[in-house]
């Protein structure tokens, strides 16, 4: 009962975030851009040539930086809550079914599996899974476009710039 109330609140919060930050619009634009743009590396005159999309149709990766940080914080908060619930439910289960000769009983093992199934099938897990799948697509776009821009600038610090971008995306 408590988890269903939590699921409803999470759904409301995610809907609010997505509408205020135009998450679905950004995601669709990036999907569209990614499907149209298959970057072609051409070594003509040592320049990179990008085909299929004009730069005006694309989202500037700098616009996504703060947006991705917010999405990461939302994900971290949800994961923290899920770990808390899992830890509490597991502790309650282990207290209800004490160890026999320092081994978990079959009933305890069944309950622990049921707890995992419950958590994995919750609305929170489902919503978070969908959210993270979209986040991965956006983060991939951010990384590819940022690296592409760093290469286009062709500064003496290009390698440092690319490594900075990769480190940022890995955090």
Q: What is the CB neighbour count within 10 angstroms for residue 138?
A: 22
Token pair for 90: 């597991």
Interatomic CA distance for residues 124 and 84, integer angstroms? 13
**Domain with 35 in it:** 2-170
Does pLDDT of 4 surpass 50? yes
Number of domains within the chain: 1
Q: Of residues 39 and 95, which shows the higher confidence score?
A: 95
Indicate the pTM of the whole model.
0.77
For the stretch 85-127, pLDDT in tens is 999 988 888 888 887 777 778 888 898 899 899 999 999 999 9
Mean pLDDT value across residues 16-43? 79
For the stretch 118-139, pLDDT in tens is 999 999 999 999 999 999 999 9
Interatomic CA distance for residues 122 and 114, integer angstroms? 12
Mean pLDDT value across residues 64-76? 93
Does pLDDT of 51 surpass 50? no
């Amino acid at each position: 009962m408590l988890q269903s109330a939590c699921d409803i609140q999470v759904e409301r919060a995610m809907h609010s975030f997505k509408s205020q930050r135009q998450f679905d619009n950004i995601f669709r634009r990036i999907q569209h851009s990614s499907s149209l743009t298959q970057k072609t590396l051409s070594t003509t005159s040592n320049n990179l040539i990008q085909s299929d999309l004009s730069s005006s149709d694309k989202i500037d990766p700098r616009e996504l930086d703060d947006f991705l940080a917010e999405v990461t914080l939302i994900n971290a908060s949800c994961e923290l809550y899920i770990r808390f619930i899992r830890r509490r439910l597991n502790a309650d289960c282990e207290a209800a079914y004490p160890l026999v000769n320092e081994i978990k009983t079959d009933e305890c093992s069944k309950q622990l599996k049921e707890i995992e199934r419950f958590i994995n099938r919750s609305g929170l897990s489902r919503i978070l899974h969908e959210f993270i799948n979209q986040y991965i697509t956006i983060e991939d776009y951010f990384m590819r476009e940022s690296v592409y821009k760093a290469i286009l600038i062709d500064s003496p610090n290009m390698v440092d710039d690319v490594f900075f971008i990769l480190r940022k995306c890995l955090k």
